[in-house]
Structure formats: structure tokens, C-alpha cells
Copies of this chain bind each other. A is one copy, B any other.
């Protein structure tokens, strides 16, 4: 007997047929004797419809009212799934964030979970009742509904799993696990059995859209063993009810991964852009003068490279931003030109950041050199490099994105079983 939190995203609850399918997944776990809590998103498309209405009502809408409107999507799904479960003989009830309560801070629209009182749910799970919980929302200190921001249902699920001390948090989605890289680019990509929290955090931050970054952070902090698995498989297919090794990818503590690979995955993020400031005064405080105003404008600056100044007075500074932020960033830079003191600002769009990720890098030298060599053999020019303890990110021309991903995937032997 285990205690399991199951989370189903928008495409998994898109209509009543899909919701009935979810009910069968839940029934399988209940029939196996497990205690089950389910976290659901809004039916796919619903949240977008509700958000569009709030924007139509006013471009400057009150985030508290936005939350009241948008949270209704998950409320609907939770009630419908509870009914669908009851219909197939499963004792179930819906829970809204304010009923549990899931207490959040006051940052409406992007709230953080502060505390979850899991006692009622745990007691009822012990009595055999499935808790169907509306994801993405909680109750703010103002006694009003607060949503966690887009994709927040993953975060709800992991936080609830931590609160009820679940043995496992299963994130059901439209893919069947986490792959060594994007299978649409590299058909030889393999589904991982396990990946460490830190690695998944890098994968999610770098473009693998399987899980929200915040939910991975939360899972890491609370050591919530999290499975990424498919809601589209037959709920009663062989092995689906396996307690220890259900089909999918387990995100877990690195200690649980016995044979750690040096490199576990290749991630990429397209639509990166570079901005170069030429003949910049090389003096203390210049970085603050550049990046302070950009941060205030909520522009996410990523890789930063500064040339060593030849004569000690002027230098060049290059950094990357998402392509969609280039125009805004250039406006901010022009407004602060006098204070920053640069000669000219140049931009280049259509770049791609390819990243090699693996906890094993910590104890292995030469990982970066292999990447550079492999890319050089394909004549792929490297525009910038950043590294961390478990990751190497390389900026290249976007036209080479797919080739670079496949090249690195092969260079580290990830396409071999």
C-alpha cells in the first residue's frame, strides 16, 4: 500500500471522454489498495478563454479578479472528475484550494504556496476516499483565490505530495517520460528511467517543457519522488500499476541513481538573441548600469561575455536575451545610453542555445572539450559558452540547432541503449 498523488494536465482532461479515461487511471491505483489524491488542471483551452476575457475586460486587470475568473477552470474539472469517479464506483470528492486550504502569499496571478493543511485529506484518504484537488490555486492571506501562474498545477501536485507525505507524485502528461533529448529532433532519443532533480531542473530551465521549473525545485527541496508518465496509454495495460517502476521517468535524488551517466541529456532553447555593446567604458559599475534597468524591465538576460579591454579604457560586452525581448531591451539601453556610456549597440537574432547536462560532469574532466570537438567537426561555429557544475551551454546559429543537438547526443553516446 502506497500513498500516491496523481496529476493530470489540460490535454489529459480536455473533454468528458478524456476525464473518464483519467478516472480509469485513478481506479487502477485505488483497486491496487493505494491511497490516492488527484490534482487536475483546467480542460485544455479553458484557461486561455478565461484569460482572454479578463484581458478584454481591461488590459490592466486586477490580479485578484483575474484569479477569481481563471481559477474556475480547475474548479469545473475537479467536480467533473469526482462525478466520473463516483460513476465507476470510486468514493471521491472535489477540493478547492480554499477548502483544504492551500495557503499562498499575496502575489495574485503568480502566488507561491506557503502552507498546505493536509490533515483533512489524509484522514479521508485513510477512509478510502479519493481527494480530487483543483490545481493551480490556493487561498491568499486576503481570503481570496490566488493562482500560482501558468503551469502551476505541477507545483500544486508536488506541494500536496510533500504535505501528505506521498510515496510518489505521478505527473501524467501527453508524453510518456523525459527523453535524453527532443525525439522530434533526434529519433534515437531514449526515455530515461531516472533523472536527478538537479538535472531535471536544468532540462526544464533550458527548454524541456515536460515540467514547470518551480515544481522541480519544490520536488528537489522536499525530496518528492516524481514520475513523468503518459495519460494517453491504456490505463489497464500491463505494468501501468507497477508500484516501484511504472512506465515513465522517475525524477529523484541522485543517490537513488546507481549507475550515473556522465551526460544524461541534451536540451536546447531556440529564439535566443545576442546584444553587443561596443566600445563601452571599462569601469566599475558599468554592469550594474546595463543590467539594472534591463532587470527592472523584466528582461531575462542569460549568457554574458565581456572582452578584456586592450588598452584598459574601452571594451565590448555581449549578452543574450529571448528574441521576443530584443526590441524592449534595445529601448531600455537607448534610454540609458548616456549613463552606461557605450558607442553602439548591435543585435543578432535567430540564435540557439544547446546545453549538455549531467551530474557526472562534476567528477569527469574533458566533457566540454568533447562538445567543442564534436561541433567543430560539423563546422558549427560557437558564439558563446557558459558552464555550471552540471551543465555546458553553447550559443550557436539557429540554423544549426537540430544538427548540433544530434551531434552532441551522439558524441556522448546517448543514442546507445
**Which residues from chain A sit less than 8 Å from chain B, CB to CB?**
16, 19-20, 50, 53-54, 56-58, 60-62, 64-69, 71-73, 75-76, 78-80, 82-84, 86-87, 93-94, 96, 98-99, 143-145
Q: Indicate if the CB atoms of A65 and B79 lie closer than 8 Å.
A: yes
Q: Indicate if the CB atoms of A53 and B76 lie closer than 8 Å.
A: yes
CA distance A83 to B58 in the complex (A): 6
Cβ–Cβ < 8 Å partners of A80 in chain B: 53-54, 57, 65, 69
Which residue of chain B is the closest to A56 with respect to CB atoms? B16
In angstroms, how far is the closest chain B Cβ from the Cβ of A139?
A: 10
29 cross-chain CB contacts under 8 A: A16-B53, A16-B57, A20-B57, A50-B76, A54-B79, A54-B80, A57-B80, A57-B83, A57-B84, A57-B87, A58-B84, A58-B87, A61-B83, A61-B87, A64-B93, A65-B79, A65-B82, A65-B83, A65-B93, A66-B79, A66-B83, A67-B79, A68-B78, A68-B82, A68-B94, A69-B75, A69-B76, A96-B145, A99-B144
In angstroms, how far is the closest chain B Cβ from the Cβ of A96?
A: 7
CA distance A83 to B63 in the complex (A): 9
Contacts A16-B53, A75-B72, A99-B144: A87 and B60 contacting too (C-beta < 8 A)? yes
CA distance A186 to B143 in the complex (A): 52
Q: Indicate if the CB atoms of A54 and B83 lie closer than 8 Å.
A: yes
Q: Indicate if the CB atoms of A75 and B68 lie closer than 8 Å.
A: yes
Contacts beyond the supplied A16-B57, A54-B79, A57-B80: 18 A-B pairs with Cβ under 8 Å: A19-B57, A53-B76, A57-B84, A58-B83, A58-B87, A61-B83, A61-B86, A61-B87, A62-B83, A62-B93, A65-B86, A65-B93, A66-B83, A68-B82, A69-B75, A69-B83, A72-B73, A98-B98
CA distance A255 to B143 in the complex (A): 43
Q: Indicate if the CB atoms of B99 and A86 lie closer than 8 Å.
A: no
CA distance A72 to B96 in the complex (A): 11
Cβ–Cβ < 8 Å partners of A78 in chain B: 68
Which residue of chain B is the closest to A19 with respect to CB atoms? B57
Most interface-central of A54, A80, A87 (chain B CB within 10 A): A80
Most interface-central of A19, A58, A71, A93 (chain B CB within 10 A): A58
Cβ–Cβ < 8 Å partners of A65 in chain B: 79-80, 82-83, 86, 93-94
Cβ–Cβ < 8 Å partners of A56 in chain B: 16
Of B16, B57, B96, B144, which is within 8 A of A68 by CB?
B96
Cβ–Cβ < 8 Å partners of A69 in chain B: 75-76, 79-80, 83
Which residue of chain B is the closest to A88 with respect to CB atoms? B58
Cβ–Cβ < 8 Å partners of A79 in chain B: 54, 65-69
CA distance A68 to B97 in the complex (A): 12
In angstroms, how far is the closest chain B Cβ from the Cβ of A44?
A: 15
In angstroms, how far is the closest chain B Cβ from the Cβ of A6?
A: 18
In angstroms, how far is the closest chain B Cβ from the Cβ of A327?
A: 27
Of B20, B62, B76, B144, which is within 8 A of A72 by CB?
B76
Cβ–Cβ < 8 Å partners of A75 in chain B: 68-69, 71-72, 75
In angstroms, how far is the closest chain B Cβ from the Cβ of A91?
A: 11
Cβ–Cβ < 8 Å partners of A54 in chain B: 79-80, 83
CA distance A100 to B306 in the complex (A): 57
Cβ–Cβ < 8 Å partners of A93 in chain B: 62, 64-65
Contacts A68-B79, A76-B53, A83-B61: A143 and B19 contacting too (C-beta < 8 A)? no
Most interface-central of A72, A75, A87, A93 (chain B CB within 10 A): A72
CA distance A72 to B62 in the complex (A): 19
In angstroms, how far is the closest chain B Cβ from the Cβ of A42?
A: 10
Q: Indicate if the CB atoms of B76 and A62 lie closer than 8 Å.
A: no
Cβ–Cβ < 8 Å partners of A76 in chain B: 50, 53, 68-69, 72
In angstroms, how far is the closest chain B Cβ from the Cβ of A80?
A: 5
4 tightest Cβ-Cβ pairs between the two chains A and B: A58-B87, A69-B79, A68-B79, A72-B72
Which residue of chain B is the closest to A43 with respect to CB atoms? B53
CA distance A82 to B58 in the complex (A): 10
